[in-house]
Each structure stands twice: as structure tokens, then as C-alpha cells.
A and B are shown apart, each in its own frame.
Chain A
Amino acid sequence: MSENAFADMMVAEMPYLRAFALSLSGSTTVADDLVQETLVKAWTHTESFALGTNFRAWLMTILRNTYFNQYRKLAREVQDSDNTHAEQILVGGEQESRLTMQDVQRALNKLPEDHREILLMIGVTELSYEEAAQVCNIAVGTVKSRLNRARAKLAEHLGMVDGATNLDLETNGPNKA
């Protein structure tokens, strides 16, 4: 593969990498450092990318490993002070809900990290279940069940369901409706 082709592919993937990093870490500072490091690593290990495999999944594997090895602790520390969504933008426009981007990020921050990353890999980076399973080195069934739990919890944290009806683990949760 020529360097130009590699660079073009990289440019095309950057928005997805950064979006994932932003939402996983909850911090613009951490996300930018993380993407920066991912770019450098990818560039210095181009030979380890197998042609014909998914380029985005390959980059995501690098990014995810870098995050869990180096940035996770930092992200926890800065999450609240360095918000990725400073502006109060409503999600889905006025008619959909009164929820802001910040509300959704806050709800995501409450999810266990291993559930949040699956939700974001499927939703933000649009990996298939199989690709997400490979990136995280878990079974496809695990991806599916984590995704289901993450969705259920996210709906709860966003106040879409009352805690008592739909959710596992919290059969006697407070009624938030």
C-alpha cells in the first residue's frame, strides 16, 4: 500500500476515532492526546495492518489499547472538569426531547467502561458485532449482551424508563417518572 493511500485512509477515519475517544474519555484533552498517539503508532506500524481487513477496526484496536494502558486513569480525573460538550445543544432538535448532548455524555459516563465502549463502537464507529468482539477480544455473544445492558442503563440514566419496570438488577429501584 502506498503512503498516500494510507494517509487518505487515515484522514477518512480520524473523525470516527476522535468521536469515539471523546465519548469514551469524556474529555477533549484526553481524546486529542489519545488520537494523536494512535496516529503515531498506526503510522509506525503500517506493516502490521493486514490488507483486506477492516482498517477502522485495526485503528480502534490501537486506540483502545492505548486508552486502557495509558489514559483511563487520567480520563477519570478530568472527566467532570473538561466536558466534551460545553454548549447546550439539544439532541435530535427541539421536537425530540429536552435532552442536551451534555446530558447524554453524562449518562454515558455513568455506564461501566466495558459497556460504554461497546455501545460507542457500535453506535459511533459503526463496527459490526464481530469487529467489536475482535477489537475487545471477547465473544460476539458478550458484545450483544453488553450492548443490551448498556442501552437499558442509558435509557434509565436519561430518565426514559422508571427504574423499576424494565431493568435487570434493580427490581426495586426508585420511580423516576
Chain B
Amino acid sequence: MTMGEEANKASEEAAASPGRPEAGIPGEHVPALDPMIQDQLGRVFRSFCDDLVHQPMPDKLLVLLARLEAKQREKK
């Protein structure tokens, strides 16, 4: 990306949220969450993400992967 494109993107973002330029330090334009709420949200969201990542993989996807591998081997 060129510098010009970068600048355009930044101004687009700024236009989408008046008074809040996007570049800068996180939390600068959005008031920071109270640390206790941040902690609570962090724990809840972390646990949500962990649960999602540990969902059992559907057979359909495992079968597909095996098929793709087999096809690759045949080609050789």
C-alpha cells in the first residue's frame, strides 16, 4: 500500500466516525473500560473463545481433509 492510500483509508475511517480520528493510541478516543469491567469481560470472552476452539471437529471436515491429501498423493 502506498502512503497516499494509507492516508485515504485513515480519512475514510475518520469520516465514518466524526470527531474520532482512527490513528493513535488505543483507548485515546474511546473511553477506556473500567479496569474491573475490563477484567470481567476479559475472563468471560477468554472462556468463550477457548470453548469455541475446543469444539469437536465435524467428521465432514476431517473426511474432506483426508480426501484432499489422498488426491495430492495420487498426483505424484
Indicate, yes or no, whether A interacts with B: yes
Residue pair B30, A152 in contact (C-beta under 8 Å): yes
Consensus secondary structure, chain A interface: helix
Enumerate chain B residues within 8 angstroms of A111, measured Cβ to Cβ. none
CB contact list, A135-158 vs B, under 8 A: 137-139, 141-142, 144-145, 147-149, 151-152, 154-155, 158
Taken together as a complex, chains A and B put the C-alpha atoms of A97 and B40 apart, in Å, by: 9
Enumerate chain B residues within 8 angstroms of A167, measured Cβ to Cβ. 31
Residue pair B9, A7 in contact (C-beta under 8 Å): no
Does residue A70 face the partner (Cβ distance < 8 Å to B)? no
Bitwise, A85-104 to B at CB < 8 A (1) or not (0) is 00001011100110101001
Residue pair A36, B64 in contact (C-beta under 8 Å): yes
Residue pair A166, B37 in contact (C-beta under 8 Å): yes
Enumerate chain A residues within 8 angstroms of B38, measured Cβ to Cβ. 151, 155
Does residue A160 face the partner (Cβ distance < 8 Å to B)? yes
Q: Which residue of B lies closest to A32 (CB)?
A: B58
Taken together as a complex, chains A and B put the C-alpha atoms of A17 and B45 apart, in Å, by: 17
Enumerate chain A residues within 8 angstroms of B34, measured Cβ to Cβ. 161, 166
Enumerate chain B residues within 8 angstroms of A137, measured Cβ to Cβ. 1
Residue pair A142, B44 in contact (C-beta under 8 Å): no
Residue pair B44, A3 in contact (C-beta under 8 Å): no
By CB atoms of chain A within 10 A, which of B38, B52, B57 has the most? B52
Residue pair B61, A36 in contact (C-beta under 8 Å): yes
Taken together as a complex, chains A and B put the C-alpha atoms of A100 and B10 apart, in Å, by: 37
B residues near A, CB below 8 A?
A: 1, 6, 9-10, 13, 20, 22-27, 29-34, 37-38, 40-41, 43-49, 51-55, 57-58, 60-61, 64-65, 68-69, 72-73
- By Cβ-Cβ distance, the 5 closest A-B pairs, closest first, are A19-B52, A144-B26, A141-B23, A92-B47, A148-B30
